[in-house]
Amino acid sequence: MPKVIGLTGGIATGKSTVAELLEIHGFKIVDADVASRKAVAKGSEGLAQVKAAFGDEAIAENGEMDRQYVGDIVFNYPEKRLELNEIVHPIVRTIMDEEKDQFLAEGYNVIMDIPLLYENDLQETVDEVWLVYTSESIQIDRLMERNDMSLEDAKARVLSQISIDKKRRMADHVIDNRDSKLELKQNLEQLLIEEGYLDSSES
């Protein structure tokens, strides 16, 4: 019986890298970020609703959503974040459910790649949760380096999510990513072996 696994983490924990590795091992990935982009794609009903809620400035010159503009608003005004979520989340869920059902029907194990799985209380929608873990200080360092952020901004982004240590206590399995990419790969393959997804001779 194919399984539905929720893959989550925190900002800059390395979840995308883990998703890529899982795809190599034959899992099908349903990505919440990709679905979110589809939900407000150019010309979509979702984007029309965003424009109505956030004004003409929410639409860039190329007709797509101005992510920087909308992102700054929702980060600073929680009530606007709720408004955006009420528009986008139902559309995203429909897109993701359709993809998941298609993959399950084809017999694949499915990874639901959901960054804010716990924040949006979606853990009951999957069979189990796998968390990509690193320390909060490493999250901040990686975010500063990757996004060229100040320490203050990086801390604010990390602290806007449920703490990675709390998520660690809630998850069914933890994939440690505090060290190198090679060690991350080895940690993931060890989990796959333990859970019966991978033969030890294949790792």
Binding region for ATP: 12-17
User: Count of CB atoms within 10 A of residue 126's CB?
Assistant: 21
Q: Determine contact, residues 92/32, Cβ cutoff 8 Å.
A: yes
Q: Quote the crossing angle between the two packed helices 67-76 and 78-105, to the nearest 10°.
A: 120
Cα–Cα distance measured from residue 79 to residue 175, given in angstroms and rounded to the nearest whole number: 34
Q: Which residues of 30-54 are buried (b: 16+ CB within 10 A; e: fewer)?
A: bbbeebbeebbeeeeebbebbeeeb
